[in-house]
Structure 1
Amino acid sequence: MSRKSNCFMVVLIIIAVILLVLALVSFILLFVFDQLFLTMLAKNTVLQPGSPLFDNWLSPSVPIWFKVYMLNLTNADEVLNGGRPHFQEVGPFVYRENRERYDRQFSNNSSPQTIRYKHRIFYYFQPDLSLTNPNNVKITTPHLYCLSPDARWMTMFTSCEPFTTLTAQEAMWGYYPTSLLEVTGQKVGIFAEINGTDVHEFVVNDGVENIQNIGQIYEVDGKKKLTIWDNDEANTINKLDIDTKIEEINGSLAPPGLQVGSTVTFYVPEICRSTTLYATGKKNTVNSKDVEIIVFTGAPADPTEHIFEWRNRIFCQTKAGCPPKGLVALGPCLNSRGINMPLYLSQPSFIGADPRIGVHFDGLSLPNPDKHVTTVHIEPTTGFLLEAFKRVQFNLLMRNTNKMFKNMKSGIYFPIGRIEEVSFHQLLLTLICLLIDN
């Protein structure tokens, strides 16, 4: 081999060694940067006084808009004679939510480190964003009081009909259908029990020991496990807290390091059960094209997945059985609070539900995934929830059980109205942009 060839080989080896060293240094720097980033993230997002996000977690400054669309039944007499229900959607009636966490207690030296607090929500009407004042609109809707199994004996003594005409305000936030209920202070309405009065107490991990555990629930209302469902896994509440709902955009309450295919399970106290969200894709945030987020929805890319079906089946009850596909039984949760009402939740316009349910009705909006599907947008590195769009429809199972129903068809999941909760967390979005720029 010539001297020239030897020199060439030496140069190649030197270049290879330099490239290897550069690659190794880059890997080490990247690893160190990631660790520094996660350390800085953990320091700034724990649920402890002094954390930049703690005050915002206590009383979120980010606006959360609660939009209500009620369904007005335009042909009640025809329905009682066996006709198809026809609806007119009325809304939106828009409210701004004010969420509060109070009576806070820290475990401090005990392990795991936790924070105990009470949580409630107040709703404030926003006339400028609404169709009109809900007191000025009349709608015909199912008579929740007369249709309650516990109140049916009252039909022997009072005049009861399956449908009633109320103001939208009464149908949403409650009214007194009888003087007896007025004496007891018990209103009847879809949201009669939630405006500042639906208080829950939580014990959650504060993230100080391990940021991956932040928001994990240990107790709800003094219970470490529910007794509502027939399945042990269904009664487990050791899930993530998200205020404690998926629509709360208030800080890093999802674990960092998420990716497409990940799942995040949250406990939702309003329905006394957990719900799992599935990471189905990536996109840029609505308010910034520089930040990429992972889109979580209520169903995986393949809704026939065995684990998805299992997660729904565990909430079936031996007596009542399983609700139809796409419906969530709210009755068991209401029963635990002393309310007997066959209410069911679905996505608006029954999107994703058994197609045999929606064919009974006229006037519902055409199913539109962009408008009717719940989605949560999470920044994967930090676990911050930046945007959320919660869409839910309320339905009442109506059976023709006595003469007041006349010739009405039986076994119908009767839609009452739908809600949409929307929130964008500009503070967290700005923080992430600063971290990216640095």
Structure 2
Amino acid sequence: MRPWMNKSLSFGILGLFLIALGNSFCFLWPTVFHQILQKELALSPTSRSFEMWKDTSNLPPLFMKVYLFNWTNPEELNIKKPHFNQVGPYYFREIRQKDNIQFNHENKTVSYFQRRIWYYDAERSNGSLSDIITNLDPVTVSATHKVRFWEIDWQKSLSFLLSSTNRRYYTSKTVNELLFTGYPDTLFTMSKIMPLDDIPTIDRFGWFYTKNNSIMDGYLNMETGEDDISQLGILRKWHYKDTMKFFKSPCNVIEGSAGEFWPPNRTKDEITLFSIDLCRPITYEYEGTISHFGIEGYRYTIDKKTLGNDTRRRYPHEQAKYFERTTTTEDFFAAEHLSEMGYTTTTESVFDNDLSSEKDTDEYSDDDPDVINMGHCYCNGECMPSGLMNVTACRFGAPGFISLPHFYKGDSVLLDQVEGLHPNDKDHSFTITLEPMTGIPLEVIARLQVNLLLQPSETVTIFNNVPKIYMPMIWFELKVQIPEEMASNLKKLLALPTVMLSIGIIMIAIGLGLIGTILFLYFKKKRHAPTTDTTEKAIDESSDKKTEMMYMDKTSSNNEDPNVRGDRRLYAKLY
């Protein structure tokens, strides 16, 4: 085989190999990328995310900002609207640690207790822990709400106790007492001798009393994504159970993300997070796509489906027919709570900037027996205006209602009853931004407000003539961003599919180039190959003529001896 043929064959084989390898890069990169995500994102004792998840002490500081509402005119409740001044923020560095971690490889979950620790940061805070705050008395209001359906004698006993101690419906305490140290109250002592089956086992009141450096969040069981990354971070059990006692089926199911991990391949549909503080899943609706540290992320926000009690699902008929329909749409709008206060019975007017109209609840008909309005389950028999979430059931019967700060996205009647609140999207929204391919949180801005329901009581004297108002008490903000170093590594990971696709295309191009070059040279060489000797062609053409060939010495001279052989070349001559 000629040398140039050996080289051509070698380059041809190389070209075919590059084309095959390039195609593999182009078509197999999703599988390769999925395997990388499976290895890097799944939670295990050896994963990169484990140490950050286990203890946030070594991460950039995480701060919880707390704002309190100071009631400036409590004595004028029956004359003027309650007026509030926002006080704060008071900064607290928050550290989260996981205790008693146990990986359950048989069902690919991890069990743990969560510990939250707060440290006050005086330098960052706008105010002091000794600041005096006046607002509704949570203990008195909660006790009155708790006994409202009891026998009349018990209600009168409470009224007598409150009147004899000159109790009022409001109180003034320091920030420190209201938040962490708490303050004592005689009602805690009295509650121990009353026939109560659901009372807190505490002797003081404070919004975060006994929670600092505790594991009061309870037992949690979460998916690790070890075998199926699409299940990563989903909460399976809370307090050793997969259902709650606070709500009826189907709203009593533990579901949604635990809040720290999210499965990859996010879509623009809503996402669900299970809130331990609210004792229920929270739906976040897609709001838009933003750029964070140069990384594209999907932003989700609390909106109509959660705040309007209008989250609907279709269940198989054999399952849906067993659900208790105690809070139908008709019951919801006819509820005494709404009719007395004149609240609007629709949510469209409230959510003027609804960004998810294409997924409106019109897709589910109220007449469909398989459609369940999950939002109605959380009303606890007493649905409230849009913008509020009822947490009475998991707060020992206290009339607690959660909203966005300053009643943002709430029914206008909530703002009309008070003064001093100024809601806006920039300062009062609750958003979660996820990188869609990996599900990694780029930014979480958690903002929630605690409100107490003040309502009149015919039996308890101090509440005889008060109006029915949702009183803002406190709100907090917790903002978490992906660290810059982690964002840089995430960019590299996200660039991997593009790099693999580009390499594949380049390999295919080089392979095709090699094969094309070889074919070009082959045909060019064949076209310019030497032709057959013209003398032989002439002989062939005159084959009918008999010829005889002899060789002649054209250089011989007469002086040379004809018998001596010369070394000169002989030339053929035809005859």
Provide TM-score, normalisation by structure 2.
0.64
Conserved? CA contact 2:54–2:98, under 8 Å: yes
Match of 2:475 in 1: 418
**Does 2:412 match 1:385?**
no
Conserved? CA contact 1:254–1:264, under 8 Å: no
Conserved? CA contact 1:45–1:54, under 8 Å: no
**Does 2:153 match 1:95?**
no
For 1:56-95, what aligned pairs fall within 5 Å after superposition?
Answer: 56-60=52-56, 61-79=59-77, 81-95=78-92
Change in 2 beyond 3 A, CA 1:419/1:31: farther
- Separation in structure 1 between the aligned mates of residue 423 and residue 255 of structure 2, nearest angstrom: 34
**Does 2:263 match 1:255?**
yes
Provide TM-score, normalisation by structure 1.
0.83
Change in 2 beyond 3 A, CA 1:346/1:42: same
**Does 2:97 match 1:42?**
no
Aligned residues: 392
For 1:12-411, what aligned pairs fall within 5 Å after superposition?
Answer: 29-60=25-56, 61-79=59-77, 81-108=78-105, 110=106, 112-135=107-130, 137-149=131-143, 150=146, 153=158, 154-178=161-185, 181=188, 186-197=203-214, 198-230=216-248, 232-242=249-259, 250=260, 253-260=261-268, 262-285=269-292, 288=293, 290-299=294-303, 301-302=355-356, 305-306=360-361, 310-317=373-380, 320-334=381-395, 339-364=396-421, 366-401=422-457, 402-405=460-463, 407-408=465-466, 410-411=467-468
Secondary structure at 1:54 match in 2: helix
Conserved? CA contact 1:62–1:425, under 8 Å: no
Secondary structure at 2:206 match in 1: coil
- Separation in structure 1 between the aligned mates of residue 176 and residue 447 of structure 2, nearest angstrom: 20
Following TM superposition, by how much is the alpha carbon of 1:62 offset from its aligned partner in structure 2, in angstroms? 4.3
Conserved? CA contact 1:82–1:407, under 8 Å: no
Question: Deviation digits for residues 256-284 of structure 1, max 9, x if unmatched?
Answer: 11132x22112111111101112221010
Following TM superposition, by how much is the alpha carbon of 1:185 offset from its aligned partner in structure 2, in angstroms? 5.2
Following TM superposition, by how much is the alpha carbon of 1:180 offset from its aligned partner in structure 2, in angstroms? 7.6
Change in 2 beyond 3 A, CA 1:174/1:162: farther
Change in 2 beyond 3 A, CA 1:399/1:175: same
Letter in structure 2 aligned against 1:124: Y
Following TM superposition, by how much is the alpha carbon of 1:199 offset from its aligned partner in structure 2, in angstroms? 3.3
Question: Deviation digits for residues 185-233 of structure 1, max 9, x if unmatched?
Answer: 5221222243223231111111111111111222111112112112x22
Letter in structure 2 aligned against 1:40: I
Change in 2 beyond 3 A, CA 1:105/1:77: same
Secondary structure at 2:221 match in 1: strand
- Structure 2 residue runs without a partner (length 5+): 1-17, 148-154, 193-200, 305-354, 365-371, 497-575
Conserved? CA contact 2:163–2:462, under 8 Å: no
- Separation in structure 2 between the aligned mates of residue 192 and residue 292 of structure 1, nearest angstrom: 40
RMSD over aligned CA atoms reads 2.6
Secondary structure at 1:128 match in 2: coil
Change in 2 beyond 3 A, CA 1:202/1:53: same
- Separation in structure 1 between the aligned mates of residue 26 and residue 218 of structure 2, nearest angstrom: 43
- Separation in structure 2 between the aligned mates of residue 72 and residue 363 of structure 1, nearest angstrom: 10
Query: Which piece of structure 1 moves more, 180-189 or 423-432?
Result: 180-189
Letter in structure 1 aligned against 2:223: N
Conserved? CA contact 1:386–1:428, under 8 Å: no
Conserved? CA contact 1:171–1:190, under 8 Å: yes
Conserved? CA contact 2:299–2:434, under 8 Å: yes
Query: Which piece of structure 1 moves more, 426-435 or 63-72?
Result: 426-435
Question: Deviation digits for residues 27-53 of structure 1, max 9, x if unmatched?
Answer: 753442222222112211211111011
Query: Which piece of structure 1 moves more, 195-204 or 265-274?
Result: 195-204
- Separation in structure 2 between the aligned mates of residue 378 and residue 394 of structure 1, nearest angstrom: 26
Conserved? CA contact 1:284–1:292, under 8 Å: yes
Conserved? CA contact 1:145–1:177, under 8 Å: no
- Structure 1 residue runs without a partner (length 5+): 1-20, 243-249
Match of 2:512 in 1: none
- Separation in structure 2 between the aligned mates of residue 378 and residue 269 of structure 1, nearest angstrom: 21
Following TM superposition, by how much is the alpha carbon of 1:435 offset from its aligned partner in structure 2, in angstroms? 1.6
Following TM superposition, by how much is the alpha carbon of 1:104 offset from its aligned partner in structure 2, in angstroms? 1.1
Change in 2 beyond 3 A, CA 1:195/1:31: farther
Change in 2 beyond 3 A, CA 1:342/1:26: farther
Conserved? CA contact 1:73–1:85, under 8 Å: yes
Change in 2 beyond 3 A, CA 1:26/1:229: farther
Percentage of pairs with the same residue = 25
**Does 2:494 match 1:436?**
yes
Secondary structure at 2:183 match in 1: coil
Conserved? CA contact 1:144–1:189, under 8 Å: no
Following TM superposition, by how much is the alpha carbon of 1:26 offset from its aligned partner in structure 2, in angstroms? 7.1
Runs of 4+ deviating beyond 6 Å? 24-27
Secondary structure at 1:270 match in 2: coil
Change in 2 beyond 3 A, CA 1:238/1:76: closer
Conserved? CA contact 2:185–2:203, under 8 Å: no
- Separation in structure 2 between the aligned mates of residue 393 and residue 53 of structure 1, nearest angstrom: 31
Letter in structure 2 aligned against 1:89: Q
Change in 2 beyond 3 A, CA 1:327/1:30: farther
Conserved? CA contact 1:174–1:190, under 8 Å: no
Letter in structure 2 aligned against 1:64: L
Following TM superposition, by how much is the alpha carbon of 1:134 offset from its aligned partner in structure 2, in angstroms? 1.5
Larger-gyration structure (1/2): 2
- Separation in structure 2 between the aligned mates of residue 27 and residue 209 of structure 1, nearest angstrom: 28
Change in 2 beyond 3 A, CA 1:128/1:264: same
